[in-house]
């Protein structure tokens, strides 16, 4: 079954990056099963986003309950669950408001736009520059691939967006030298993952 599914998939799904020759069918807890019935202990967790594991009973119940009421109705309208979640996030964080995103790339894209808008509004038209780290990865949109400090992901997309510079990860002195009056944001991963596991020394501090 695995080879049959892969053959069908390659005919209709664009090859953005190489996939493992595994066709997953179901999951439970920390385990996955492929189309041939083989069981796996999952250490990937959807690239670190499936914190609850698979088939969590409470998660399935909440999703099923909501799907029976409303699915997607856009952000043109208010919905109680989105308000309740927003309240929970604000009450359990240091932030005053939240912004919902569909993916990590969209979140970074929004952060880039908000930073530039803030910089220009409060510090002048030239305050739009962003510093990111070498070997970082921030997504595959035009802005986030520009923010990504790896040329292999930027190949073929030149000219990239202006206003980005890159410094060595964990090199605070270089970062200090690069920051200037036109810097509106610094993007840092606490632990670089996609570019190889590069944890910062000690802890991140402002």
pLDDT tens digits along 86-123: 999 999 999 999 999 999 999 999 999 999 999 999 99
Contact (Cβ atoms closer than 8 angstroms) between residue 34 and residue 40 = yes
d(C-alpha 32, C-alpha 38), whole Å: 8
pLDDT at 206 (0 to 100): 52
R_g of the chain, CA atoms, integer Å: 21
Question: 101: Cβ–Cβ under 8 A, 6 or more apart, which residues?
Answer: 107, 110
Q: What is the pLDDT of residues 36-49, one digit of tens each?
A: 999 999 999 988 88
pLDDT tier, 127 (very low <50, low <70, confident <90, very high otherwise): very high
Q: What is the pLDDT of residues 26-38, one digit of tens each?
A: 999 999 999 999 9
Task: Give, as one character, the DSSP assignment of residue 37.
Answer: -
d(C-alpha 113, C-alpha 143), whole Å: 9
Domains of the chain: 2-69 (3.90.1150.10), 73-100 (no CATH), 104-199 (3.40.640.10)
Q: At 85, which helix (H) or strand (E)?
A: helix 80-91
pLDDT, mean over the chain: 93
Q: Which residues pair with 186 in a beta bridge?
A: 131
pLDDT at 196 (0 to 100): 77
pLDDT at 205 (0 to 100): 60
* Sheet with 129-133, side-by-side order of all strands: 164-167, 129-133, 183-187
Torsion of CA 173, 175, 176, 177, to 10 degrees: 90
Q: What is the pLDDT of residues 177-201, one digit of tens each?
A: 999 999 999 999 988 887 778 777 7
pLDDT at 194 (0 to 100): 79
Instruction: Provide the b/e sequence for 181-191 (b: ≥16 CB within 10 Å).
Output: eebbbebebee
d(C-alpha 194, C-alpha 51), whole Å: 18
Span of 70-79, 100-109, 136-145 with lowest mean pLDDT: 70-79
**Mean pLDDT, residues 151-165 taken together:** 96
Bond preceding residue 9 cis, omega within 30 of 0: no
Q: With a threshold of 0.75, does the pTM exceed it?
A: yes
pLDDT tier, 203 (very low <50, low <70, confident <90, very high otherwise): low
pLDDT at 37 (0 to 100): 95
């Amino acid at each position: 079954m695995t080879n049959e599914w892969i053959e069908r998939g390659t005919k209709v799904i664009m090859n953005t990056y190489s996939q493992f020759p595994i066709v997953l069918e179901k999951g439970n807890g920390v385990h996955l099963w492929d189309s041939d019935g083989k069981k796996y202990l999952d250490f990937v967790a959807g690239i670190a986003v499936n914190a609850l594991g698979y088939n969590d009973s409470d998660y399935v119940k909440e999703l099923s309950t909501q799907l029976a009421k409303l699915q997607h109705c856009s952000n043109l309208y208010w919905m109680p669950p989105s308000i309740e979640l927003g309240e929970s996030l604000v009450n359990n964080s240091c932030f005053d408001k939240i912004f919902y995103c569909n993916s990590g790339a969209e979140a970074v894209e929004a952060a880039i736009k908000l930073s530039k808008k803030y910089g220009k509004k409060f510090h002048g038209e030239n305050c739009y520059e962003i510093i990111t780290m070498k070997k970082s990865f921030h997504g595959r949109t035009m802005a986030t691939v520009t923010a990504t400090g790896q040329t292999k992901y930027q190949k073929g997309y030149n000219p990239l967006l202006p206003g980005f510079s890159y410094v060595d990860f964990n090199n605070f002195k270089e970062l200090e030298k690069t920051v200037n009056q036109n810097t509106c944001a610094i993007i840092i991963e606490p632990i670089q993952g996609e570019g190889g596991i590069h944890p910062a020394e000690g802890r991140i501090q402002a």
